[in-house]
Structure 1
């Protein structure tokens, strides 16, 4: 008896292996997938400017990266005794504007290199809701808890999202025509916008993305959102906040991603890398025992063997 409606996902023609270089950008769910990639030892860079929730913020990052543009002093501002940039997440903020600017431009340079060398680019879209700064008409990536009356809240129209997505694809293709682009919609529910508003947002993202993919057949779609909504349609697969997918849900979506996008030979190595990581994280009951000594020796031997096969691997 089949108790779920499983979404058919075709095997990728250009799968990820341990020679792949992955550039991942987007919402907090992009970080979840990135943590899995890191756990299994893949070469990657994720969110150089921190989490970016909407297409316009991602577009700006990609534009700056492939155009080798730099952030200027005019792009920074002070709020609550710290210096910020409206194009970046608050995790990059700093009390020293020079350090912030240098860090931002260093991150952009790293992103430029990563996009140039990437075999796969994963873009995760979180929301179509954006905030526009009234004084400049600029759409921001982060509001930094600035009073809301300084912004207007807008829902990006389908055609605006399509334009942004096409710019993202064009910018990446300009720098790296061979990279495999993978788009997905985050399953995280943006309920601060409202229940109906979250659905409107996801609907616009889905419509715009699929319209864009029809015009760009070499780009691919992975159904993270649909897996959460249809295969895992139960609150037990959400975290305590009832907004984010639980660890089990993330594991399941990762498994479905792996089935489609990770080559079979690579999956076998992944299993071994994962086993070593788990062994290294193990806390012994008796660290002085003979049994633990043998366990450590076996783990270190397997670790050395894998690092010989995969020179980039770090534990």
Structure 2
């Protein structure tokens, strides 16, 4: 007997390999998946502008990279001793203007480089509600806890999102014709407008993605939101705020992601790497013992063999860690 509704996974839509550069954009869930990909030695760049929640902010951010935009002091705002950008997460903000600009332009340069070579771009949309800066009517990426009276808040239309992203995807493919686009809707619920408002919000995103997938064969969809709602509907899979998925829920969605887009060989490389990672995280009783040195040497050998088979894996930090420990 089956006591839950299984979500059909998009197996066969495409394969993501360790050799594929991946650029991720979007909400906190994009950060979660990006970290899991990075931890498993995929070559990723996650959120060059920091966390972004709505499709139009993400589209504008990507467009700024395509436009080769370089931020200057004129693009920043200053309030309560802090310099910040309305398009960037608060992690870029600083009391020093030069430091703020340096952080912004460094990440944008890195993102621009990845944009030109990415095999996959993964977009995680969290909400269809946007905040428009009243001074110029433009959608912002982050409100930085400024007063609500400075913004107009509204729900996007499906066609508005489709139009913005259709033209954006065409622009991206002009500089990177081989890139594939993977869309997902964040399983994090946005309760500010109530649960009915959250459903309307997510429905707009789902309809827009469906339309884009119909328009572009390079667009694919992964059902993060549906897995959370249908397979993990018990509240034990939600954090204390009853809105965010627990680490266990994220892990399950990650397993579904792996099943959908990774080949048997990719999964085998991931297993080998996890064994190495566990070895590196091991804390010995005696770090200067012969037994531990032998253990480290075996780990080093495993890393070198893996690197020999898959030269595109970035394992330099782990090799340097082993060498440092062996010298002690």
Q: TM-score, normalised by structure 2?
A: 0.90
Say which SS state the counterpart of residue 192 (structure 1) adopts. coil
Determine the C-alpha separation between the residues in 1 that align with 2:290 and 2:108: 50
Residue 211 (structure 1) aligns with: 211
Q: Residues of 2 paired with 1:13 and 1:145: CA distance? A: 40
Name the CA distance, whole Å, in 1 between partners of 2:14 and 2:210. Answer: 20
Q: Secondary structure at the match of 2:244?
A: coil
Partner of 2:260: 260
Alignment of 1:132-143 (within 5 A): 132-143=132-143
Counterpart Cα distance in 2 of 1:80 and 1:36: 36
Q: 2:62 aligns to what SS in structure 1?
A: helix
Greater displacement, 68-77 / 47-56? 68-77
Shift of 1:290: 5.8
1:168 aligns with 2:165: no
Give the paired residue count. 315
Match of 1:191, SS?
coil
> Residues 56 and 10 (structure 1 numbering): CA distance in 2 closer, same or farther, change over 3 Å?
closer
| Most deviating of 245-254 and 96-105 | 96-105
**Structure-to-structure mapping, 1:68-147, within 5 angstroms:** 68-147=68-147
Q: Is residue 59–residue 167 contact of structure 1 (8 Å, CA) maintained in 2?
A: no
Which residue is 1:7 aligned to? 7
Map 1:221-236 onto structure 2 (within 5 A). 221-236=221-236
Secondary structure at the counterpart of residue 14 of structure 1: coil
Larger deviation, residues 55-64 vs 234-243: 234-243
8 Å Cα contact 2:212/2:219 also seen in 1: no
Q: Where does the alignment leave 5 or more consecutive residues of structure 1 unmatched? A: none
Q: How does 1:264-279 map to 2 (within 5 A)?
A: 264-279=264-279
1:67 aligns with 2:62: no
CA distance in 2, matches of 1:79, 1:196: 36
User: Structure 1 residues 303, 195: CA separation in 2 closer, same or farther (over 3 Å shift)?
Assistant: same
Q: SS of 2:192's equivalent?
A: helix
Separation in structure 2 between the aligned mates of residue 286 and residue 216 of structure 1, nearest angstrom: 58
Counterpart residue number, 1:247: 247
Contact 1:187–1:228, Cα closer than 8 Å, also in 2: yes
Query: Matched residues in 1 for 2:239 and 2:307: separation?
Result: 35
TM norm structure 1 = 0.94
Written as runs of structure 1 = structure 2, the 5 A alignment for 1:37-52 is 37-52=37-52
Q: Counterpart of 2:307?
A: 307
Q: Aligned residue for 2:188?
A: 188
Q: Deviations over 1:217-237 (max 9, x none)?
A: 221001111111111111111
The superposition leaves residues 14-66 of structure 1 with CA deviations (integer Å, 9 ceiling, x where unpaired) of: 31112111111111100111111111101111101100111111011110112
CA deviation profile, 1:170-221 (whole Å, cap 9, x unmatched) = 2221221111111110101122343222211111111111112111122100
CA contact (8 A) 2:10 2:222 kept: no
Q: Distance in 2 between matches of 1:231 and 1:286?
A: 45
Task: Write the deviation string for residues 105-144 of structure 1: whole angstroms up to 9, x where unpaired.
Answer: 2322221210111111111101011111112212111111
The Cα offsets for residues 58-92 of structure 1, whole Å up to 9 and x where unpaired, read as: 01111011221222322210122110001110101
Which has the higher mean CA deviation after the structures are superposed, 262-271 or 210-219? 210-219
3-state SS, counterpart of residue 17 of structure 2 = coil
Task: Structure 2 unaligned segments of length 5 or more: list them.
Answer: 319-328
